Structure 1
């Protein structure tokens, strides 16, 4: 092996082979880059969201909630049936969702 192959990135550039571990790691890095980051809402935004959720619950109004999901944009639409503050969750159309995952809300007409 010549000294030139050992300098810089020469070893990898001259190699046509990739170890399975390296391929797995590269795939993981690609998937990690696609993941969304959680939005941090301030206190005022949480007050507004809480009011909209309460309005949906009390007045049976349709609500549209933007929810956090790592790989896709998730939206929940319906009427809030229940809120469980102790467990940090709420129910829309019979399905439970985590309150901490709410990123935005609006009432539908």
Structure 2
């Protein structure tokens, strides 16, 4: 008889992949690449706040590392507006969420 029926030969000899299997494999790969949101302590939050205010008042460029679930996102520019009530800030004409900030450094 053929060796296809021994062990895992039938599955290995098959060159066809169902769309459900392909979708499942892609989804598992994406889940493994997912980043976790980091928890910031009070001292780090104060530093972020002070740095954003310094950029706003003195037009100093800053690098802001933002949370994104699948990639590393860094915003570089000068803070134009800071809206604490809504929890957002503006850099280069775009609004971003304050709660997504992971780290801020002055350039």
TM range (shorter): 0.7 to 0.9
Match runs of 1:1-109 below 5 Å? 14-15=10-11, 16=14, 18-108=17-107
Structure 1 residues 62 and 22, CA gap change in structure 2 (3 angstroms):
same
Judge which range, 15-24 or 41-50, deviates more: 15-24
Give the TM-score normalised by the residue count of structure 1: 0.79
Tell me by how many angstroms 1:31 deviates.
1.1
Inter-partner Cα distance in structure 1 for 2:90 and 2:102: 16
Give the TM-score normalised by the residue count of structure 2: 0.81
Inter-partner Cα distance in structure 2 for 1:87 and 1:99: 9
Structure 1 residues 78 and 21, CA gap change in structure 2 (3 angstroms):
same
CA RMSD of aligned residues (A): 1.9
Inter-partner Cα distance in structure 2 for 1:13 and 1:91: 59
Aligned length: 99
Inter-partner Cα distance in structure 2 for 1:79 and 1:18: 50
Tell me by how many angstroms 1:18 deviates.
4.1
Inter-partner Cα distance in structure 2 for 1:83 and 1:36: 27
In the alignment, structure 2 segments of 5+ residues that lack a partner are: none
